[in-house]
Structures are given as C-alpha cells and as structure tokens.
Chains A and B, each alone.
Chain A
Amino acid sequence: MTQPQRAVRHPDAQATTAAILLVVGVFYGFQAVREGIGTPSDTGSGFFPLIVAIVLVIASALLLVQEWRAWRGDPAVQAQSALDQAGDDEGGAPEGEPRTRWARVAGVLLASLAVPLFAEVVGFVVMLSAAVAVIAKIAGMRGWMRPCALGVVFGVVAWLVFVYWLFVPLPAGVLGLG
C-alpha cells in the first residue's frame, strides 16, 4: 500500500492542542481541589485526581515547549516532532496537509447521534437501520437503493442476534420492534 505523501507540519495546530490540554489539566486540578484533598493518612476524593492533574499539566507544558522549539527551528526537535506525528500506536498513517472532509464527518456524526436521540420514539433498530443507510450514502455508496438495502439487512440481522437470540432489550418505539 502506498503511503500518502507527508506534507508540511503545522506547529501552530500542535501547540494549540498542547495549550488546550494544559488548560484542561489546570481546570481538572481546580475541580480536584474542590472535591477535597484530605490528609496523607486520610486522603480525600480529590487527592488522586490532583496528582493526575499535576502530571497532565507538566506533560502538556513539555509538549508545548517541544512544539515551540520545533517552531523556532531546532532541527533535532523538528525531526523528533515530525516522527511523533508520522503515525501512532494504533497504526494511524502519516498525516498530510489536513484536508479532512468535515462535511462527511459531521454527517456521519449527526446520523449516528440520531440513534440515541430518537430511539425511544421511533425504535432502536429502525433508527439504527436508517443511520447505517445514511452513513453508507455519505461514505460513497452510489444511489439510494443499495444504502437502504444495507440498512435494512443490518437492522434485520441486528434484531435477530441481539433481540431474538441474546435477549437484549432494545427500545421498541412506536413500531414495537424491540
């Protein structure tokens, strides 16, 4: 498989991510203090979270420094930073110039979100079938017949496996399919 061509990295985006994580760490730390730290021999609910928050702030600050040094042009740090982003532990491929199709992503998320929002009314299996059909269409399946067929087949199989076989109680909605 050919790898996508690596493009210029975006230190600003990376630094923004690190800064957001730093803010999250500080906020979480404040919340931890509010929960109560206790004493060394009688620790409170916020004791462990405070330790986590401190490590999170330090690690985020280190990332921020690393990104700043890379942005300033330290070649070794740039090389390391590029290597860090060249893939991830879970097999993420090198990321090129961000050309994410945000409309597609948003469409998939909205279709997925419709399932928990309307499952109680319309029925879980029906909503899930519709969501699968819409996501298939967004993902590039041609026409409307094939996505709808995929949605229906998925819904039937899901009902047979989860409801009929494994006795999982799914919201039936108005159609009473659960």
Chain B
Amino acid sequence: MLHDLGAGFASFSDPTYLLLALAGVVLGTLVGVLPGIGPIGAMSILLGVTTQVGPTGSLILFAGIYFGSTYGGSTTSILLNIPGEASSVVTALDGNQMTKKGRSGPALTIAAVSSFVAGTLSIVGLMLFAPALSSVAVKLGPPEYMALCLAGLLLLAALSHGSTARALVMICLGLAVGTVGIDPVGGDLRFTMGSTTLAQGFSFTALVMGVFGVTEALTIVGGKRPAQAVKAPRLRELLPSRAEARRAGPAALRGSVIGFLLGLVPGPAAVLSTFASYVTEKRVSRHPERFGHGAVEGVAGPEAANNAAAGAAFIPLMVLGIPFAPTMALVLAALLLNGIVPGPTFVDDQPELFWTVIAAMYIGNLMLLVLNLPLVGLFTRLLSVPPHVMMPLIIGLCTIGVYADGNSTFDVVVMLAAGVFGFLLRSSGFSMAAFVLAVVLQPTLESSLRQTMAFSDGDPTYLLGRPVTMIILALVAAAVGGMARTSWVARRQARSLVS
C-alpha cells in the first residue's frame, strides 16, 4: 500500500498534475465563497475540458474543486452568515456568532485546520477501508434512509433554539416547498398550478440565498438589527486561544469520524454529517447553552464532518461505481467521458489512477491549508466594509449567483420571495436552518418512506425486521425524549421561580 502511495506521489513529478491540483483548490475555494455557483456548477462548466486533461487530471481537478468548495463555503457562513452551500448551514450557527463577538479570525482558522485534519483522516480511511465500508453502505435500504432522514429532522427540531413547535413548523414548510414539482416516485406533476416553470420545483440555490443572504441584507437595511462595526483582526488575532484550541481538537476528531461514516451513505451526506456532528457536540458538551452563541465546537465539528464526508463520498464511487451525491455523479461523468468505468475492479484495473488521485487529495488538502490560512485575514477584512457597501454587494452576488445556477429569472424572483419570507419569520425566532435542511432532505425522505410503504404493503411491523432502522429510530426517540424532559423540567423551574 505504501509503495503504491509512493508511486502515486511520484506521478506529481509531472507539473501538469500539480497545476491541476492548484487550479482545482483555488477554483473550488472561489466557487465556495461566491454564492450560487457551487462545486456542481463549476464541475458542470468544466466537464467539457476533462477530455483534454485525461482521467487522472480530471479526477485531480474535480477533487480539488470538491474539497476547495467545502473550505470556501464555510468562509461566507462564518463572516456573513451566508452559507455558500447546504453543508455550511450548520457552521453559520456558531461561526457567525463568533464573528459577532469579534472572534472571526479564530473561527476561520479553526474551520480551516479542522477541515484539513478531517480531509487527511478521510483520505487515510479511503485507503484503508474502502472495500469493506462500501459493502456495508450498499446494504442500506429505503427504511434505513427514511430513518436517517427522520433522525436528522427530528433531532433538528428538538435541538433548535426556541420551541420545538417553531422548528417543526419550519421543517414542515421546508418539506412542503420541496414537494412542488415532479413527484419523485410516480413522476406526476404536483402543486405546480399549471405552470411549466414550477415543474422543476423551486431552485435550492434560490431558496438558500433568499432565506440567508437576502434576509440578512433586508434585516440590516430595514433597521431590524444595527450593523456591526467589526475591525479586521491583526495576524496574531487570527490564532485561537489555548482554550479554544483545546475545545476544537476533540470536536474536529469526532466530526471526522461522524463525517466519514455518514459520507458513505447515499443522499445529502455532507449536510447530515454536519448536523449529526453539531448534535453530538452539543450532547457531549458540559456547556450546551453556549451552542448557538459562538461555541467553538459548533464550528470545528461540523467543518471536520463535511470535509470527511467529502473524502468518504469517493469510496462508493470508486469501489462500486455508484455516485451517492450530485458532485460524485459529475466525477463519474468525467471518468466515463475518458473511457474509465469505476466499479469493484477499479482499484485492481487502474492502480496508477487510483493512487495518483489519493496522492492528489493529500496534496490538495495541504494546498488548501497553506492557501487558506494566509487568506483568512483577507476574508476577515470583508467585515470592515461598511454595511451600505456590503449589503448591495450581498444582494448583487446572490442575484447573479442564483441566475448563473439555473439561467432563470424566475429563480431570482423566488430568491427575493424567500428573502421576504425569511425577513418576516426569522426575527420571530423561526429557524431558517431548519427550513433549508428540510428542503434538502425532502426528496430522500419522501422516496424512502413511500418505497418502504410499498415493500411492507403498508404494514408498520415490517420495520421490526430491519434492525438498523430500529436502532436509529430508538436512538432518535431516546434523544428527543431526553430533550423534551429537559425542556419540561426547565419550564417547571421557570414557573416555580416566577410564582
């Protein structure tokens, strides 16, 4: 194995591969920071050039974009409360709070280092466990996906700031918005009101840019919240304190493990992993009340998780030839365009390609760390831009990003409508993160639920024969029950205090 890896690194004596890795991570970081484009957009645009650079070059370029975008997405989440992509939504919860407390530098540094650690660990995992873990992941059926999605949503409702009912409302609204368009099981159009534009459903990019970007801009422009005057920190202020580093380290390691395991699961693994990591950190913390108010663990864990999930997502693609995420589907397309068909014999048939890509991931992760840490100060300087400059730029970027994503002016209108929706509801304590995550999980949840119903002939006892499903549901029930009890005790104490 080490010999093979050495051979992979030796391939980088060809400067073309090094340049492709650098181009990939820089472009990935850029599209992660810029709202709307995202790794899928960038990969789609570059799909045509993959035949020019060959299968190895394509994989190196696309892996760089993929890892880079997860880094870049966290930057706007932390600095501007605008998640560059769905997997950065959770990072915004505490990351932006750290920014508001003048700790943007440490937040970005912790995010970058956590991402590097997780990315590196996931590559080690990719090398060691690829075949065995893929065989386990592929055995999961619709009931398990349904349980995983339900776990994510129910735990989100239980852990959201404020009342569970508020979070449930937002989850339901997110699921409802997700159902507009084509029925994922039957293929019928629904809730389109006869409009062909709505047949494809609402653009996720438009929704997320609306409820985060436009809402943020309207909140400040409308005077709901005074703009912050934040000074860009000096270089030494970018370093986290010892206490922050001590709290971030274990969180990053836990997030790496969670992200790696969930990265093997089909569907929105990166999103689920960030949420699962956040929940875990809140559960193990001695100070859960800090979460949502700038907890370091709330940045380190999810950032590690989404990078680990990004690395793990390559396992089912390379070993089984099955892309479990849209980005992986584009990687598969690039390989197919070059005449390479990944599958169970991929590692044996294409050892040079496999190990060169593994080496590229190591090098790409190192490049990201080296590039992003010095650039942290540059991104942090965005905060010194006055709000009357920043707000129009945010709306402008969101507008062009949403249009670029779908080439549709209707999507821009959807974004503005989502911005108004977020503006009206967010100040009342309704969670936009819950709404967005529900939109992401809706297709997987609905498909898996209805497939489970079909398999079981509508008999709920069918789930008793699915031990993994039962374990997941039991853990969720225990967690939700525990949190409901904590809430009830707190309310009783409040009542006794005020009476």
Contact = CB atoms under 8 A, between A and B. Distances in A.
A31 to B, nearest CB: 6
Contact of A90 (B96, B166, B176, B457): B96
A115 B173 contact: no
Interface in B122-180: 160-163, 165-166, 168-169, 172-173, 175-176, 179
B350 interface: no
B333 to A, nearest CB: 18
Contacts of B102: 1
Highest count of chain A CB atoms <10 Å: which of B161, B400, B420, B449: B400
Given A95-B224, A116-B409, A136-B392, A89 B431 contact: yes
B209 to A, nearest CB: 12
Interface stretch (B15-23, B215-223, B247-255, B368-376): B215-223
Interface in B302-321: none
B224 to A, nearest CB: 6
A12 to B, nearest CB: 12
A1 B188 CA distance: 52
Interface in A1-21: 1, 4, 13-14, 17, 21
Contact of A84 (B176, B220, B429): B429
Nearest to A115: B399
Contacts of A92: 219, 225, 426-427, 429
A126 interface: no
Nearest to A77: B491
B428 A131 contact: no
A21 B163 contact: no
B432 A90 contact: yes
A172 interface: no
Contacts of B494: 75-76, 79-80
A91 B387 contact: no
B425 interface: yes
Interface in B261-311: 292
B395 interface: yes
A24 to B, nearest CB: 8
Contact of A112 (B81, B163, B416, B426): B416
Contact of B221 (A47, A81, A91, A105): A105
A87 interface: yes
A41 B446 CA distance: 14
Q: Is the contact region of chain A dominated by helix, strand, or loop, or is it mixed?
A: helix
A106 to B, nearest CB: 9
Q: Is the interface of B mostly helix, strand, loop or mixed?
A: helix
B413 interface: yes
Nearest to B182: A45
Contacts of B179: 48-49, 52
B395 A132 contact: yes
A141 B396 contact: no
Question: How extensive is the interface on chain A, given as a class?
Answer: 35 or more
Interface string A33-53: 001000111111111110011
Contacts of B399: 112, 115, 128, 131
Interface in B164-204: 165-166, 168-169, 172-173, 175-176, 179, 183, 185-186, 188, 190-191
A85 B166 CA distance: 10
Contact of A41 (B220, B432, B454): B454
Nearest to B89: A90
A86 interface: yes
Interface in A101-140: 101-102, 104-105, 108-109, 112-113, 115-117, 119-120, 124, 128, 131-133, 135-136, 138-140
B176 A53 contact: yes
A52 B404 CA distance: 32
Given A35-B191, A166-B37, A62 B165 contact: yes
A83 B404 contact: no
B412 A52 contact: no
A24 B163 CA distance: 20
A72 to B, nearest CB: 14
A17 B186 contact: no
A45 B450 CA distance: 10
Contacts of A140: 387-388
A90 B212 contact: yes
Contacts of A102: 222
Given A25-B172, A131-B395, A139 B212 contact: no
B420 A109 contact: yes
A100 B426 CA distance: 14
B94 to A, nearest CB: 9
A59 B168 contact: yes
10 contacts: A40-B453, A55-B172, A86-B429, A89-B161, A90-B432, A91-B92, A100-B223, A115-B399, A117-B409, A158-B400
Interface of B: 34, 37, 42, 45, 81, 92-93, 96-97, 100-102, 160-163, 165-166, 168-169, 172-173, 175-176, 179, 183, 185-186, 188, 190-191, 212, 214, 217-226, 228, 292, 387-389, 391-393, 395-396, 399-400, 403-404, 407, 409-410, 412-413, 416, 419-420, 423, 425-434, 445-446, 449-450, 453-454, 456-459, 491-492, 494-495, 498-499
